[in-house]
Amino acid sequence: LDFAGGTVVHINAGIAALVGALILGPRKGFGTEPMPPHSLTLTMTGAGLLWVGWFGFNAGSNLEANGYAALAMVNTLVATAAAGFSWVVTEWVTRKRASALGLASGLVAGLVAITPAAGFAGPVGAVLLGLVVSPICVIFCSKIKNALKYDDSLDAFGIHAIGGIVGAIATGLLVNPAWGGAGVVDYTTCAADGDISTCDTAAYVLSTQVMAQVKAVLVAIAWSSVASAIVFFLIKYTVGLRSSVDNEEEGLDISEFGERAYHN
Protein backbone atom coordinates (compact mmCIF):
# COMPACT_ATOMS: atom_id res chain seq x y z
CA LEU A 1 0.00 0.00 0.00
CA ASP A 2 0.97 3.68 0.07
CA PHE A 3 3.95 4.22 2.37
CA ALA A 4 5.02 7.59 0.92
CA GLY A 5 3.18 9.94 3.27
CA GLY A 6 3.08 8.00 6.52
CA THR A 7 6.38 6.17 6.37
CA VAL A 8 8.89 7.80 4.04
CA VAL A 9 8.14 11.42 4.96
CA HIS A 10 6.82 11.56 8.50
CA ILE A 11 8.44 8.58 10.19
CA ASN A 12 11.81 9.37 8.64
CA ALA A 13 11.59 13.04 9.57
CA GLY A 14 10.32 12.37 13.08
CA ILE A 15 12.97 9.76 13.84
CA ALA A 16 15.68 12.04 12.41
CA ALA A 17 14.40 14.84 14.65
CA LEU A 18 14.63 12.61 17.72
CA VAL A 19 18.16 11.50 16.85
CA GLY A 20 19.15 15.11 16.21
CA ALA A 21 17.64 16.29 19.49
CA LEU A 22 19.50 13.59 21.43
CA ILE A 23 22.85 14.34 19.78
CA LEU A 24 22.44 18.12 19.88
CA GLY A 25 21.25 18.27 23.46
CA PRO A 26 18.68 20.61 25.01
CA ARG A 27 18.56 24.38 24.72
CA LYS A 28 19.88 26.40 27.63
CA GLY A 29 17.12 26.71 30.20
CA PHE A 30 15.13 23.78 28.82
CA GLY A 31 12.92 22.38 31.54
CA THR A 32 13.53 25.29 33.91
CA GLU A 33 12.44 28.33 31.86
CA PRO A 34 9.16 28.84 29.97
CA MET A 35 9.60 28.41 26.22
CA PRO A 36 6.23 29.29 24.64
CA PRO A 37 5.59 29.08 20.88
CA HIS A 38 6.98 31.95 18.83
CA SER A 39 3.50 33.02 17.67
CA LEU A 40 0.31 31.13 18.44
CA THR A 41 -1.49 33.18 15.80
CA LEU A 42 0.93 32.04 13.11
CA THR A 43 0.75 28.49 14.47
CA MET A 44 -3.02 28.40 13.95
CA THR A 45 -2.68 30.04 10.53
CA GLY A 46 -0.07 27.48 9.50
CA ALA A 47 -2.17 24.56 10.70
CA GLY A 48 -5.12 25.80 8.66
CA LEU A 49 -2.97 26.24 5.56
CA LEU A 50 -1.56 22.74 6.04
CA TRP A 51 -5.05 21.26 6.20
CA VAL A 52 -6.07 22.99 2.97
CA GLY A 53 -2.88 22.04 1.18
CA TRP A 54 -3.09 18.45 2.36
CA PHE A 55 -6.14 17.82 0.20
CA GLY A 56 -3.96 18.35 -2.84
CA PHE A 57 -1.27 16.16 -1.34
CA ASN A 58 -3.49 13.17 -0.54
CA ALA A 59 -6.01 13.39 -3.36
CA GLY A 60 -3.38 14.49 -5.88
CA SER A 61 -1.24 11.45 -5.10
CA ASN A 62 -3.91 9.38 -6.85
CA LEU A 63 -2.78 11.02 -10.14
CA GLU A 64 -6.28 10.88 -11.62
CA ALA A 65 -9.72 12.25 -10.78
CA ASN A 66 -11.79 9.25 -9.75
CA GLY A 67 -13.51 7.75 -6.73
CA TYR A 68 -10.28 7.04 -4.90
CA ALA A 69 -9.25 10.69 -5.14
CA ALA A 70 -12.65 11.69 -3.75
CA LEU A 71 -12.27 9.11 -0.98
CA ALA A 72 -8.85 10.55 -0.10
CA MET A 73 -10.34 14.05 0.14
CA VAL A 74 -13.18 12.94 2.40
CA ASN A 75 -10.85 10.93 4.63
CA THR A 76 -8.43 13.84 4.90
CA LEU A 77 -11.28 16.05 6.08
CA VAL A 78 -12.92 13.76 8.63
CA ALA A 79 -9.78 12.15 10.09
CA THR A 80 -8.16 15.53 10.70
CA ALA A 81 -11.29 16.95 12.31
CA ALA A 82 -11.59 13.88 14.54
CA ALA A 83 -7.93 14.10 15.57
CA GLY A 84 -8.21 17.79 16.44
CA PHE A 85 -11.30 17.03 18.51
CA SER A 86 -9.74 14.08 20.35
CA TRP A 87 -6.57 16.06 21.18
CA VAL A 88 -8.66 18.83 22.74
CA VAL A 89 -10.73 16.29 24.68
CA THR A 90 -7.58 14.53 25.88
CA GLU A 91 -6.19 17.84 27.13
CA TRP A 92 -9.47 18.63 28.83
CA VAL A 93 -9.51 15.29 30.63
CA THR A 94 -5.84 15.27 31.65
CA ARG A 95 -5.19 18.98 32.25
CA LYS A 96 -8.70 20.32 32.89
CA ARG A 97 -8.26 22.80 30.04
CA ALA A 98 -7.99 22.75 26.26
CA SER A 99 -5.62 24.87 24.18
CA ALA A 100 -5.40 26.30 20.69
CA LEU A 101 -1.88 24.86 20.41
CA GLY A 102 -3.32 21.45 21.27
CA LEU A 103 -5.97 21.82 18.57
CA ALA A 104 -3.30 22.69 15.99
CA SER A 105 -1.18 19.75 17.13
CA GLY A 106 -4.15 17.41 16.86
CA LEU A 107 -4.92 18.60 13.34
CA VAL A 108 -1.36 17.89 12.25
CA ALA A 109 -1.42 14.47 13.94
CA GLY A 110 -4.60 13.64 12.05
CA LEU A 111 -3.13 14.75 8.73
CA VAL A 112 -0.04 12.65 9.33
CA ALA A 113 -1.95 9.54 10.37
CA ILE A 114 -4.51 9.56 7.55
CA THR A 115 -2.00 10.15 4.75
CA PRO A 116 -1.00 6.49 4.15
CA ALA A 117 -4.61 5.35 4.59
CA ALA A 118 -6.36 8.17 2.72
CA GLY A 119 -7.18 6.19 -0.42
CA PHE A 120 -7.79 2.86 1.33
CA ALA A 121 -9.80 3.46 4.52
CA GLY A 122 -13.52 4.07 4.61
CA PRO A 123 -14.70 7.39 6.10
CA VAL A 124 -15.77 5.73 9.36
CA GLY A 125 -12.36 4.08 9.65
CA ALA A 126 -10.74 7.46 8.99
CA VAL A 127 -12.72 9.03 11.83
CA LEU A 128 -11.69 6.23 14.19
CA LEU A 129 -8.07 6.64 13.18
CA GLY A 130 -8.26 10.36 13.92
CA LEU A 131 -9.83 9.74 17.32
CA VAL A 132 -7.17 7.18 18.26
CA VAL A 133 -3.99 8.87 17.02
CA SER A 134 -4.18 12.09 19.07
CA PRO A 135 -4.25 10.51 22.56
CA ILE A 136 -1.26 8.38 21.58
CA CYS A 137 0.63 11.43 20.34
CA VAL A 138 -0.28 13.37 23.50
CA ILE A 139 1.37 10.64 25.58
CA PHE A 140 4.58 10.83 23.55
CA CYS A 141 4.60 14.64 23.52
CA SER A 142 4.21 14.81 27.29
CA LYS A 143 4.90 11.68 29.35
CA ILE A 144 7.52 10.07 27.12
CA LYS A 145 9.18 13.37 26.25
CA ASN A 146 9.41 14.39 29.91
CA ALA A 147 10.72 10.98 30.93
CA LEU A 148 13.50 10.94 28.31
CA LYS A 149 14.18 14.70 28.67
CA TYR A 150 14.92 15.31 24.98
CA ASP A 151 14.36 18.82 23.61
CA ASP A 152 12.09 18.41 20.58
CA SER A 153 10.74 21.96 20.35
CA LEU A 154 8.25 21.19 17.56
CA ASP A 155 7.32 17.67 18.74
CA ALA A 156 8.39 16.29 15.38
CA PHE A 157 8.92 12.87 16.94
CA GLY A 158 5.79 12.83 19.09
CA ILE A 159 3.49 13.96 16.28
CA HIS A 160 5.08 13.11 12.94
CA ALA A 161 6.95 9.91 13.76
CA ILE A 162 4.35 8.48 16.13
CA GLY A 163 1.42 9.68 14.02
CA GLY A 164 3.06 8.22 10.93
CA ILE A 165 3.68 4.89 12.65
CA VAL A 166 0.09 4.68 13.88
CA GLY A 167 -1.29 5.62 10.48
CA ALA A 168 0.97 3.28 8.52
CA ILE A 169 0.14 0.25 10.67
CA ALA A 170 -3.55 1.14 10.89
CA THR A 171 -3.70 1.26 7.10
CA GLY A 172 -3.27 -2.50 7.07
CA LEU A 173 -6.41 -2.79 9.19
CA LEU A 174 -8.57 -0.06 7.68
CA VAL A 175 -8.11 -1.28 4.10
CA ASN A 176 -10.14 -4.35 5.07
CA PRO A 177 -13.30 -4.39 2.87
CA ALA A 178 -15.22 -6.02 5.72
CA TRP A 179 -14.54 -2.88 7.77
CA GLY A 180 -15.51 -0.44 5.06
CA GLY A 181 -12.10 -0.21 3.43
CA ALA A 182 -11.43 -0.06 -0.29
CA GLY A 183 -9.56 -3.36 -0.35
CA VAL A 184 -6.20 -3.97 -1.98
CA VAL A 185 -6.16 -1.79 -5.08
CA ASP A 186 -3.89 -2.21 -8.12
CA TYR A 187 -1.90 -4.99 -6.44
CA THR A 188 -1.56 -8.09 -8.59
CA THR A 189 0.18 -11.44 -8.47
CA CYS A 190 1.63 -13.04 -11.59
CA ALA A 191 3.21 -16.32 -12.55
CA ALA A 192 6.96 -16.64 -12.30
CA ASP A 193 7.32 -16.69 -16.09
CA GLY A 194 6.01 -13.10 -16.28
CA ASP A 195 2.98 -14.03 -18.40
CA ILE A 196 0.57 -11.15 -17.74
CA SER A 197 -2.37 -13.31 -18.78
CA THR A 198 -1.93 -15.21 -15.52
CA CYS A 199 -1.98 -12.07 -13.36
CA ASP A 200 -4.78 -11.71 -10.87
CA THR A 201 -5.74 -9.24 -8.19
CA ALA A 202 -4.21 -10.29 -4.90
CA ALA A 203 -6.58 -11.21 -2.12
CA TYR A 204 -6.56 -9.12 1.06
CA VAL A 205 -5.32 -10.98 4.12
CA LEU A 206 -5.42 -8.92 7.32
CA SER A 207 -2.42 -10.47 9.07
CA THR A 208 -0.30 -10.42 5.92
CA GLN A 209 -1.04 -6.78 5.20
CA VAL A 210 -0.53 -5.60 8.77
CA MET A 211 2.82 -7.42 8.92
CA ALA A 212 3.84 -5.80 5.63
CA GLN A 213 3.03 -2.39 7.12
CA VAL A 214 4.96 -3.19 10.31
CA LYS A 215 8.01 -4.31 8.32
CA ALA A 216 7.95 -1.09 6.30
CA VAL A 217 7.75 0.96 9.50
CA LEU A 218 10.67 -0.92 11.08
CA VAL A 219 12.81 -0.47 7.97
CA ALA A 220 12.03 3.26 7.92
CA ILE A 221 12.93 3.61 11.62
CA ALA A 222 16.19 1.69 11.23
CA TRP A 223 17.24 3.52 8.08
CA SER A 224 16.44 6.98 9.40
CA SER A 225 18.08 6.33 12.78
CA VAL A 226 21.37 5.15 11.34
CA ALA A 227 21.56 7.58 8.41
CA SER A 228 20.62 10.66 10.42
CA ALA A 229 23.01 9.74 13.26
CA ILE A 230 25.87 9.51 10.75
CA VAL A 231 24.98 12.90 9.28
CA PHE A 232 24.58 14.61 12.65
CA PHE A 233 27.89 13.24 13.99
CA LEU A 234 29.70 14.27 10.81
CA ILE A 235 28.41 17.81 11.20
CA LYS A 236 29.10 17.85 14.95
CA TYR A 237 32.76 16.90 14.55
CA THR A 238 33.49 19.03 11.49
CA VAL A 239 31.77 22.40 11.16
CA GLY A 240 29.90 22.13 14.46
CA LEU A 241 26.27 21.35 15.17
CA ARG A 242 25.09 24.09 17.52
CA SER A 243 25.61 27.76 18.20
CA SER A 244 27.55 29.18 21.12
CA VAL A 245 25.84 29.92 24.42
CA ASP A 246 26.20 33.67 23.80
CA ASN A 247 24.56 33.43 20.37
CA GLU A 248 21.82 31.24 21.79
CA GLU A 249 21.04 33.78 24.49
CA GLU A 250 21.08 36.67 22.05
CA GLY A 251 18.89 34.81 19.62
CA LEU A 252 19.83 33.31 16.26
CA ASP A 253 17.80 35.94 14.38
CA ILE A 254 20.40 38.50 15.39
CA SER A 255 23.55 36.39 15.67
CA GLU A 256 23.07 34.46 12.43
CA PHE A 257 20.98 36.78 10.23
CA GLY A 258 21.37 40.23 11.75
CA GLU A 259 17.65 40.99 11.89
CA ARG A 260 14.58 40.53 14.07
CA ALA A 261 11.10 39.41 13.16
CA TYR A 262 9.55 41.86 15.63
CA HIS A 263 10.73 45.14 17.15
CA ASN A 264 7.94 45.59 19.71
pLDDT, tens digit, 9 for 90 and up, residues 151-166: 999 999 999 999 999 9
Instruction: Say if 34 falls within a structural domain.
Output: no
State how far the Cα of 1 lies from the Cα of 185, in Å rounded to an integer. Answer: 8
Is 200's pLDDT higher than 60?
no
Range of the domain at 238: 4-28+40-257
pLDDT at residue 193, as a whole number: 53
Instruction: Say if 44 falls within a structural domain.
Output: yes
Instruction: Say if 243 falls within a structural domain.
Output: yes
Instruction: Say if 35 falls within a structural domain.
Output: no
- Report the pLDDT averaged over residues 170-183: 88
Is 3's pLDDT higher than 70?
no
pLDDT at residue 213, as a whole number: 92
As a 3-state breakdown, the chain gives helix, strand, coil percent values, each rounded to 5, of 70, 0, 30
pLDDT at residue 226, as a whole number: 97
Q: What is the pLDDT of residues 50-88, one digit of tens each?
A: 999 999 989 998 888 888 899 999 999 999 999 999 999
How many Å from the N-terminal Cα to the C-terminal Cα in the chain?
50
66 vs 189 pLDDT, higher one: 66
Instruction: Say if 33 falls within a structural domain.
Output: no
**What's the CATH number where 78 sits?**
1.10.3430.10
Q: Is the pTM of this model over 0.95?
A: no
Domain tally, the chain:
1
